[in-house]
Amino acid sequence: MKENKKSPRAGSAWRVVSAVFLALLLVAEGLLLFQVWKLGMLPIKFLIPIFVIVLLIDIPIVIAMFPRTGRWQKHRGNGKRITAYVLSVAIAAGCFFGWKAVAKGDQTVDAITKVPTVAAQVGVYVLAENGAEKIEDAKDYTFAVTELRDKENTQAAIAAIEKVLGSKIKVVRYNSLDELAEALYSGNAQAMILNVAYAGLYADSDKYSDFTTRTKVIYKYNVEKMVETQKKPSGNKNEPAKPVESVEETPFIVYLSGSDTRSDTLTDSVSRSDVNILAVVNPETKQILLVNTPRDYYIFNPAYGVMDKLTHCGLDGMGNSMEALSALYGYPIDYNAQINFTGFETLIDSIGGIEIYSQGGDGVHLAPGTNYLDGAQALAFARDRYSYADGDNARGRHQMQVITAVVNKMASGSIITSYSSILDSLQGMFSTSMSSDVVRRLIKMQMNDMASWNIQSYAVTGYGGTDSTIGGMAYVMYPYDDTVAHASELIGKVLEGKTLTNADIAS
């Protein structure tokens, strides 16, 4: 009987095909492993098991692709080869998708840590009943402006309007925002030019609180510029703030700001800040202190050299708010992080919601016991001040409750595989002055030890009144100096490595 032998050429062809599939698999796995390593968030204790698992998967696939004995070939060797090819393609596809997802997460970290670009938006306002619908309709109008606020952008907007109209416009200058609005209301000017962020100041004014409903915008001019995120603090106990690179060991302070905007981008981040919380972090002791300062707190505004509401400091950038809070508490602030309303909701939803425990008395938002909140519910809980007798103080407490719940959720192992997608979901709505390296190292530190944090919170308080602000006479909260002093004392303890107790907060 003639012996049935396989053609050497056929065996060589199989080896070539196997080499191609193996190369595809190794390239895909290599790309994924390199990108995971490059991201710098996974500790070695996770990287080594991943490498071992990949190796254990590859060994039987390689054996099936390159059988070493003729006996193998006689027993459905080709079928096993084909099975190995299918597996290698499936694994390679999964690796390519994983590589793409991790690379996107890497890009997101870079995006949220770059110096943000702000579109300073200057609007042309007319009365709501005015027949003008576009800037061309206002060619013969008298335009009221004030160059005491945002002079550079106002002048740029005037130049842009004149370019559109092809002629000079009549401009009358006023000394304050109140005079500006009065000129429009009285008819002394048919239009006014003002930065959209500053127009929000009228909401706090007793006389012009109806500005939003009584006017309309017929033209907007955008100016992109880099945000000044850090100014030299004044009146500190310590040296001016410097970037903290050894964040795994060195305590640092982060200014957490909640922009009162609602959009898919922070390009309009020069705005009033509804949330003003200092997070004092000691990574060695795993201690976090959250210090809330009410938005209406009457403090020194460094940009204008006058007493003003804290929320107005944000109109001149994050650096101005940081300098104001640094002077108030006497400690330099190392970093800032800002999120807007849309980003806040997205963050809560992306981590699967949060748990807030209430003992009762939390108005319409919470029932006694454990409450599960999604993004929209958490935002409503964190923003409401009108349902509570102590208004801003209640809102501050709720904001710190929400932040505590978010930190606890993100510090747990339940979302260990979701850090990249969580960061990606926030792109454009969250920014921080931390370097990308610092963000990666903090995430890596947390994933490495999965430590729980001792989170304590304290809110400074005050009493209400009416006083002069950069937006005119408005409601303000005068500080209780003893609460400011106590907050400063608590900050010092955390920075010194002491673990805070409830008694420390209450004393």
pLDDT digits over 447-476, tens only?
A: 777 778 888 989 999 999 999 888 888 889
Q: What is the mean pLDDT of residues 371-388?
A: 80
**CA 504 to CA 499: how far, in whole Å?**
9
Work out the mean pLDDT of the chain and round it to a whole number. 80
Q: Name the phi and psi angles at 123, rounded to 5.
A: -110, 155
* Selection from 168, 198, 169, 162 nearest residue 181 by Cα: 198
Check: CB of residue 497 under 8 Å from CB of residue 316: no
Tokens representing residue 251 in the block: 């305590």
Q: What is the total residue count of the chain?
A: 507
Check: CB of residue 23 under 8 Å from CB of residue 92: no
Which value, to the nearest 10 degrees, does the dihedral of the CA atoms of residues 432, 476, 474, 316 take? Answer: -20
Pairing of strands 335-340, 430-432: antiparallel
Q: What is the mean pLDDT of residues 86-95?
A: 86
Pairing of strands 215-226, 252-259: unpaired
Check: CB of residue 275 under 8 Å from CB of residue 256: yes
DSSP-derived secondary structure letter, 239: P
* Selection from 395, 140, 428, 388 nearest residue 261 by Cα: 428
**CA 443 to CA 427: how far, in whole Å?**
17
Tokens representing residue 196 in the block: 């959209």
Check: CB of residue 197 under 8 Å from CB of residue 183: no
Pairing of strands 306-309, 191-195: unpaired
> 44-53, 66-75, 267-276, 363-372: which has the minimum mean pLDDT?
66-75
Check: CB of residue 404 under 8 Å from CB of residue 412: no
Name the helix (H) or strand (E) containing 447.
helix 436-449
| More confident of the two residues 341 and 97 | 97
**CA 344 to CA 427: how far, in whole Å?**
12
pLDDT tens digits, one per residue of 33-89: 887 777 676 666 777 777 788 888 888 888 888 876 555 444 455 778 888 888 888
Nearest-10 crossing angle of helices 375-383, 392-411: 150
Q: What is the mean pLDDT of residues 123-133?
A: 95
List 193's β-bridge partners, or say none: 124
pLDDT tens digits, one per residue of 413-455: 566 556 666 666 666 667 788 887 888 788 778 777 777 888 8
pTM over 0.75? The answer is no
| Residue found by looking up tokens 């939390």 in the block | 362
How remote is the C-alpha of 198 from its chain's centroid? Answer: 22
Nearest-10 crossing angle of helices 341-350, 392-411: 40
Tokens representing residue 310 in the block: 């804290």
pLDDT tens digits, one per residue of 159-204: 999 999 999 999 999 988 889 999 999 999 999 999 888 888 888 7
| More confident of the two residues 244 and 341 | 341
Q: What percent of the chain has pLDDT over 90?
A: 30
| Residue found by looking up tokens 């944090």 in the block | 453
Q: Name the phi and psi angles at 336, rounded to 5.
A: -135, 160
Tokens representing residue 281 in the block: 């972090």
**CA 430 to CA 423: how far, in whole Å?**
9
Pairing of strands 170-173, 117-127: unpaired
| Residue found by looking up tokens 């100041």 in the block | 201
Q: Would you say residue 478 has pLDDT above 90?
A: yes
Tokens representing residue 361 in the block: 């008395």
